[in-house]
């Protein structure tokens, strides 16, 4: 077990390699999004991991049956568009399926496709499960925010290294220059070493390093920028990560300000997957279902619970208003009766007074 943690077994990230940093964020986020949905009823030949990776990474995958077994694989759209301007065929090349190689699949959309009479020969009919209406997948969103985060990380690294040096050294000779370079190298590596040069304390000259005075403020701004990018990133993926510039705690109302922004993307992605499940049931008779999972499911349940509470409170308020109206009507009716009785009593007293006269 110890050998696993040897330095040569750890793949260190080069902070000067932007592509490597972007790839790190891409892989990390795709791994996170594997917990977004939970599929039930999938055939044993189609693991959820492979299905979701294809849908999220390429924007769509093809579900089909070949020699008695069900498979899923990405493919290239082919043929003319149908009357809804959707692709009609998909060319699938998968050398790992037995006796398959490359085949043409006719895409099933639940109804007879009009205006697509062609002479194209296809091998079977299948369902195209898409991530979204444009078949973009999650890659554009993840790549966009990954690049922003990488720029932020590189900037923070530069500021952090610069903050270690309070002054710029002026070397009088090569020995002193080498000592200073060794010292700066030690700063960058985080090591504490003495500068060994004769009379260096007497001969060394320094100038204030302009970057050190503003490093703390710049670092604070970069941390806030990173917080904002991550909050926007997770919000687009349907997770609540509030961004707040306040230095103190936030209220519950402030925490729920952006919950509405969490719903559209994930609701749409779930709808597209369920539409694919419906087509699979119509074409193959398989009962496959999909729903939110992990934090996405929990957040949805919380939002639905809050919505129900608001609806119940609104109903209670409405009932209270109705009761208040009824009470007001009864009070008004009572006051009117009392006024009528008082008027009748006055009339009677007036008549009796006339009799006495």
pLDDT tens by residue, 273-315: 999 999 999 999 999 999 999 999 988 888 778 777 777 776 7
Q: In 3-state terms, what secondary structure has residue 17?
A: coil
The pLDDT-based confidence of 78 (bands split at 50, 70, 90) is: confident
Question: How many helices and strands in the chain, by DSSP H and E?
Answer: 9, 10
Q: Identify the bridge partners of residue 128 per DSSP, sorted by sequence position.
A: 62
If one counts every other C-beta atom within 10 angstroms of the C-beta of residue 102, the result is: 11
What are the residues whose beta carbons fall under 8 Å from the beta carbon of 66, sequence distance 6 or more? Answer: 97, 100, 103, 124
pTM of the model: 0.73
Q: What is the pLDDT of residue 1?
A: 44
Superfamily of domain 14-130 in the CATH hierarchy:
Upper collar protein gp10 (connector protein) (2.40.500.10)
Domain ranges of the chain: 14-130, 139-264, 294-335
User: What is the Cα–Cα distance from 196 to 208, expressed in whole angstroms?
Assistant: 22
Cβ neighbours of 271 (radius 10 Å): 12
Helices (DSSP H) in 81-173: which residue ranges? 139-162
Burial of 219 (0-12, 13-18, 19+ CB in 10 A): middle
Three-state SS for 299? helix
Q: Give the model confidence (pLDDT) of 40-69 as tens digits.
A: 999 999 999 999 999 999 999 999 999 999
Q: Could you give the C-alpha distances from 35 to 78, 139, 277, 294, in angstroms and in order?
A: 32, 16, 19, 6
pLDDT at residue 17, as a whole number? 87
Q: Which residue has the higher pLDDT, 239 or 202?
A: 239
């Amino acid at each position: 077990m110890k050998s696993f943690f040897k330095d040569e077994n750890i793949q260190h990230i080069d902070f000067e390699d932007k592509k490597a940093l972007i790839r790190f964020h891409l892989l990390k986020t795709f791994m996170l999004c594997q917990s977004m949905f939970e599929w039930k009823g999938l055939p044993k030949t189609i693991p959820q991991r492979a299905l979701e990776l294809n849908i999220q990474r390429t924007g769509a995958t093809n579900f089909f049956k070949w020699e008695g077994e069900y498979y899923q694989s990405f493919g290239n759209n082919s043929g003319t568009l149908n009357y809804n301007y959707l692709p009609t065929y998909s060319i699938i090349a998968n050398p790992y399926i037995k006796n398959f190689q490359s085949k043409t699949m006719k895409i099933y959309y639940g109804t007879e496709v009009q205006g697509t009479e062609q002479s194209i020969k296809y091998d079977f009919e299948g369902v195209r499960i898409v991530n979204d209406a444009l078949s973009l997948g999650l890659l554009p969103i993840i790549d966009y925010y990954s690049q922003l985060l990488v720029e932020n990380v590189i900037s923070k690294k530069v500021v952090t290294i610069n903050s270690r040096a309070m002054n710029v050294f002026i070397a009088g000779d090569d020995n002193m220059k080498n000592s200073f370079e060794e010292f700066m190298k030690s700063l960058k590596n985080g090591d504490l070493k003495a500068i060994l040069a004769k009379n260096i304390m007497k001969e060394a000259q320094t100038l204030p390093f302009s970057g050190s005075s503003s490093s703390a403020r710049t670092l604070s701004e970069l941390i806030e920028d990173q917080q904002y990018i991550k909050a926007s990133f997770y919000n687009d993926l349907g997770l609540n990560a509030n961004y707040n510039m306040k230095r103190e705690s936030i209220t519950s109302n402030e925490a729920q300000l952006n919950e509405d922004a969490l719903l559209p993307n994930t609701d749409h992605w779930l709808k597209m997957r369920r539409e694919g499940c419906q087509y699979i049931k119509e074409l193959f008779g398989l009962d496959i279902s999909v729903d939110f999972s992990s934090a996405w499911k929990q957040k949805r349940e919380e939002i639905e619970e809050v919505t129900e509470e608001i609806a119940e409170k609104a109903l209670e308020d409405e009932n209270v208003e109705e009761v208040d109206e009824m009470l007001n009507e009864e009070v008004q009716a009572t006051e009117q009766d009392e006024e009528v009785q008082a008027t009748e009593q006055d009339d009677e007293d007036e008549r009796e007074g006339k009799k006495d006269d």
